[in-house]
Amino acid sequence: MEVEYLLELIEFAVNRILEDIKNNKYSAYKVANYIGTSQNTILNLMNKGISNARKSTIDGLLQFYEEQYGIISLPKKEDDSSKMTI
């Protein structure tokens, strides 16, 4: 249960960053520069998803998320009574 929740948090955070890049809130260059990777890596994530991303890239994206948005938490669901965050 906890592992599934952590995976869901990671996916949510990465998808939010990628969505903000698509909506021009951040540039792929800015995100790539922040996490120490190439712009091409970020563009590949946008096209292929995070399933083949390196751990260091995901770690960097999570750090970027916390810097830009604060603590990672999932949007509240109607059937969710827990308030887990990382």
What's the pLDDT tens digit per position in 25-76?
999 999 999 999 999 999 999 999 888 889 999 999 999 999 999 888 877 7
Residue 84 has pLDDT above 90, yes or no: no
Its sign, for the CA torsion 64, 30, 37, 15, is positive
Say which DSSP state 31 is in: H
Contact 31, 16 (CB under 8 A): no
Query: What's the average model confidence in pLDDT over 14-21?
Result: 94
User: What are the tokens at 76?
Assistant: 């509240």
User: What are the tokens at 3?
Assistant: 């592992």
The pTM of this model reads 0.80
